[in-house]
Amino acid sequence: MMSLNELWFLLIAVLFVGFFFLEGFDFGVGMSTTILAKNDTERRVLINSIGPFWDANEVWLITAGGAMFAAFPHWYATLFSGFYTPLVFVLLALIGRGVAFEFRGKVASETWKKTWDIVIFIGSLLPPLLFGVVFACLIQGVPIGEDMNMNAGLFDVVNVYTLLGGITVVVLCLVHGLMFTTLRVLGDLQDRARAMAKKLLIPLAILMVGFTVMTYFNTDVFEVRGTILSIVAVVGVIVYLLAAFFISRKRDGWAFGMTGAIIAISFTSIFIGLFPRVMVSSISDAYSLTLTNAASGQYSLKVMSIIALTLLPFVLGYQIWSYFVFHKRVNAKDHLEY
C-alpha cells in the first residue's frame, strides 16, 4: 500500500507536471509575441489567446510550493534557500509578465507597448530556462551536507548539463505554445505558428537526445531506475514522432496533445529518477533528502490528505469549466484590450 509520504510525493509531482503542461504553453505564447508576431495586432491576438488562462495556470506552481512546504518542509527549506537567486528571478519574471499583460494596452504609445513587450518576452523566457536549470540540478546533485543545508557555488548550478536542460525546456515550451496558438487563432498567424513549430522539431529533438545522453553519464538515475526510465524514453520517442506526424497533417488538436505529453513525460521522468529521493547530494548519497527524512509527521500528512482530497475536485472542476467557457478562437476582429 502506498504510504502518505509516497502519496504526497506523487501529488507534488502531478502539480509540477500540470504546471509545466499548462503554463508551458503560456510561456511559449509569450515568447511568440516577439518571435512570431509581425505587428501590434498579432501581438494583441496572441496575448488575448492566453488572457483567460495564464493566471489560473500559475496557481499550480503556488499549490506545488505550498504542498512541498507542508508535506516535506526540509525539501522546501533546502530547495528554496539553496536556489534562492534563480527562484527570485523566476518570481520577478512572473510578476513583470503579469503586470505587462495588464499595463501594455493602457497607454497609446509605441514606446510604452514595446517596453512591456520586452517584459513579456523576458518574463516568458526566463522561468522555463531557470526551472530547467533547477530541475537538472536536482537529478545531477548539489552539495547538500549532513545538516541538510545546500552550499552551492555558481558552477554547481550553472554548467553545461544544467544549461542544456534549461534551453531544452525553453524550446519545448515554445513548440507547445505554438501548437496552442494554432488552436486559438485563425488565418496567416495560425499557419505561421504551425510552420515554426514544424521547423523547431529537429532542434528540439537534438536538444532532448543530448540532454538524455548527458543525463545517462552525469547522473545516477538510469542506474537507480534504468528499466522504467528506458520504457519512458521509448514512449517519449513514440509520442514525439506522433507530434511530428500530426503537425505535418495539420491535426492541431492532436499535435498539441502530443507536445503536452512530451512535457509531461519529461518531467515525470525526473521525479521517477529522483524517487525515493527528493534532492540528490553530490557530497554523499547518505546526505540526500528522501521521502523519509524530509517529510512532516504522519498526523500532518493525514490531515493534509483529507483536506486536499476534499478540495481538489472543486479546483479541477473550476479550471475545466474556465477552459470550456473560453474555448472560442481569437481573431483581429475581436475586442482586444491588451
pLDDT in tens, 90-127: 999 999 999 999 888 888 888 999 999 999 999 999 99
Mean pLDDT score, 117-141: 96
Per residue in 57-77, pLDDT tens?
888 899 899 999 999 999 999
Under the banding of pLDDT at 50, 70 and 90, the label for residue 304 is: confident
What is residue 334's predicted lDDT score, i.e. its pLDDT?
A: 54
Q: What is the pLDDT of residues 181-200, one digit of tens each?
A: 999 898 899 999 999 999 99
CA distance 160 to 171: 16
CA-nearest of 323, 326, 316, 211 to 269 is 211
Distance CA(84)–CA(78), nearest Å, equals 10
Measured CA to CA, the distance from residue 68 to residue 66 in angstroms comes to: 5
Give the pLDDT confidence score for residue 257 in this predicted structure: 96
pLDDT at residue number 310: 81
Q: What is the pLDDT of residue 317?
A: 78
pLDDT at 331: 63
* Cell 550553472, residue located: 158
Q: Which of 33-42, 60-69, 255-264, 318-327 has the lowest mean pLDDT?
A: 318-327
- pLDDT value for 305: 84
The two beta strands, 277-279 and 289-290, are: antiparallel
Q: What is the pTM of this model?
A: 0.91
User: Nearest Cα to 104, choosing from 288, 261, 337?
Assistant: 337
pLDDT at 31 over 50: yes
Query: Structural domain boundaries of the chain?
Result: 5-323
